[in-house]
Amino acid sequence: MIEVTMSTRQLVFYSCLGLALRRVSSFSLPLVRLNSVAIFIFAIFITTLSSALAATWLMTLYAGLASELRLEIFVSFWIGDLGGVLMFIATTSLFLDFYEKENKYDDIFEKGLVKPLALLLVISCATTLLFIVTGLESDVSRFGYLILLPVAWAASFYGIRFALFAALCVNITAVTHYILLGLTAYPAIELQTLFSVNLAMAMLLGASLEERRLAMFDAAHDPLTQMLNRRAFFQEGRALLERCKRQNRNMAVLMIDLDHFKRVNDVWGHEAGDLVLMKVAECCRKICRHTDIQGRIGGEEFVLLLDDADPQQAYAVAERLRLAVEEVLIPGSSEYISTSIGMSHLLEAEDDLEELLRQADLALYQAKTAGRNRCRSTALSPMPVEIALT
């Protein structure tokens, strides 16, 4: 009876926690924003306290728990629930990241595997050393929090996902070493507290770094299309142009304007127009390389800077983009959007970005006056599509 009651208690409390979090407007998943992480940890803190109080009351009611043991049982239930919930959430978050393949962890491993793997090795060695040197309940209480340092390092440099992974490694390594070393005095509450603080710190510090990254991304990108905004585009575009000049590389500028886009907003509404812009931005991302630069500089105007692309290559890219945009269906209709593209090319060492954009805009005007849904280049006469795509 008591086992069923305890299981029901957990189901009720944590189901209510999930339902309550869904109604908090400032809370969102995945757990990346610092505000969401803080709300989540506070909610878990309150819920586990309430659940532990209920467990202690139930133990007293059904098992006749002695009054002098109530505080110890309450703390045991609370710390156990707190550590268990945090561990479950951390594991589930990482599993979903890998399973859904939404996060490829490029932010962690883009500069190589050496530093992240070395960090995990440091975590493992530090945990091993701690339990070899101490091995006693009092010493774990006194020195145990030293193993929080590598987790704090992971959170500060790599963000919340790697911090959670590092915290899980610490917790699993600690339990494994405790078992393998045959330590008999098992300080359950001390270790569970350590695990809970470990995970909570990883979430908060990691989310703090992610918050800074997101703030920098938001400041440089258009919120609708996630392409560079005008200011960031000119900043990164000038840097790319200077690199191309210095290294004697080609560069092409593609000015992209959607045909009759005002009609989309007027007939099908601005929501349909926003969806079209998002789909066109996705088409741009698919045809670009990671060294190219993409920006939204006007309502329906996009610009691509193609790194190390000669006029023929740029024309082929423009045609692929034009054909891709032709397949974008206007939401709520049976009609498709089309685009006109003007191109300019880095031919003179004195050309600046503004001049290249002006030339591309003139080529775009030629594409519009020639009938729209076509490409024009300042360096090439109109090319047949079958030649451009080869």
The CATH number of the domain holding residue 293 is 3.30.70.270
Are 205 and 262 contained in the same domain?
Answer: no
| Domain boundary, last residue among 191, 220, 249 | 220
The residue that leads in pLDDT, 383 or 84, is: 84
Query: What type of residue is 315?
Result: Y
User: What's the rounded Cα separation, in Å, for the pair 92 and 96?
Assistant: 6
Q: What is the dihedral of CA 4, 8, 10, 16, to 10 degrees?
A: 180
The residue that leads in pLDDT, 63 or 203, is: 203
Are 132 and 199 contained in the same domain?
Answer: yes
Other residues' Cβ atoms within 10 Å of the Cβ of residue 61: 11
Query: What type of residue is 69?
Result: L
Per-residue pLDDT reduced to its tens digit, 162-219: 777 777 777 777 677 666 666 555 456 666 777 777 788 888 888 888 788 888 888 9
Residue found by looking up tokens 């400032």 in the block: 26
SS3 374: coil
Across 319-344, average pLDDT: 93
* Mean per-residue pLDDT over the chain, rounded: 80
Query: What type of residue is 219?
Result: A
How many domains in the chain?
2
Are 30 and 136 contained in the same domain?
Answer: yes
Contacts of 142 (CB under 8 A, 6+ apart): none
307 inside domain: yes
Are 169 and 263 contained in the same domain?
Answer: no
Of 46, 38, 75, 50, which is closest to residue 193 (Cα–Cα)?
75
Query: What type of residue is 160?
Result: I
Per-residue pLDDT reduced to its tens digit, 253-296: 999 999 999 999 999 999 999 999 999 999 999 999 989 999 99
Per DSSP bridges, beta strands 301-307 and 251-258 are antiparallel
Are 177 and 79 contained in the same domain?
Answer: yes
Are 123 and 212 contained in the same domain?
Answer: yes
User: What's the rounded Cα separation, in Å, for the pair 379 and 314?
Assistant: 10
